[in-house]
Amino acid sequence: MAQRMKEDMLVRQAKAVLDFNWTGEYTMPGPRLYPHQWSWDSAFTAIGYCRYDQDRATRELRHLFEAQWKNGLLPQLVFNPQYTSYFPGPNFWHAKESPDAPEHHETSGVVQPPIHATAALYVYRHAEDEAKAKDFLEYAYSKLGAWHDYLYRERDPEGEGLVYVRHPWE
């Protein structure tokens, strides 16, 4: 009984942190230190949300997919324009100089591990509203396909099925 109460309290506290860090579009990993959207943080956060808030889980991933590059790259970092003093910010990356960069979002030009398909699957499997979950999967399918195509095309030059790390922050 005491163990169950501790677990319930831990879940409530975790949800409170997520609520506090929710921007309406994504969850900040840390409002002061990490106010922007981080790719794999959002994937793992969506996995957590899918257990109790399907809409937030899908919104978390949709916001990330909205910043996907034309070549399929899913950026490590999507910058929140309200936080301009962050380093390294958009002026460090110069990602907008790429013709493949998204038009409506500032991002880094590097990636994080590709766990987003797993997150989308969790969101689907734990959905309370199956129709909304299918709509989300239909949306995410092409985004995930483009992401994986990018990894095979740009990050697996030997065709071995092993992607390489291009930058030490990946």
Q: Which amino acid is residue 22, in one-letter code? A: W
Structurally, at CATH architecture level, domain 2-155 sits in: Alpha/alpha barrel (1.50)
pLDDT at position 131 is 97
Secondary structure (3-state) at 83: coil
Say which residue the tokens 């493949």 belong to: 100
* Gyration radius (Cα) of the chain, Å: 17
The whole-angstrom distance between residue 14's C-alpha and the CA centroid of its chain comes to: 19
**Residue-wise pLDDT tens for the chain (170 aa)?**
788 889 999 999 999 999 999 999 999 999 999 999 999 999 999 999 999 999 999 999 999 999 999 999 999 999 999 999 999 999 999 999 999 999 999 999 999 999 999 999 999 999 999 999 999 999 999 999 999 999 999 999 999 999 999 999 99
The whole-angstrom distance between residue 156's C-alpha and the CA centroid of its chain comes to: 22
Structural domain boundaries in the chain: 2-155
Count Cβ atoms below 10 Å from residue 137 Cβ, excluding itself: 16
Phi, psi angle pair for 99, to nearest 5°:
-65, -15
Structure tokens at 102: 């998204």
- Which one-letter DSSP state was computed for residue 97? G
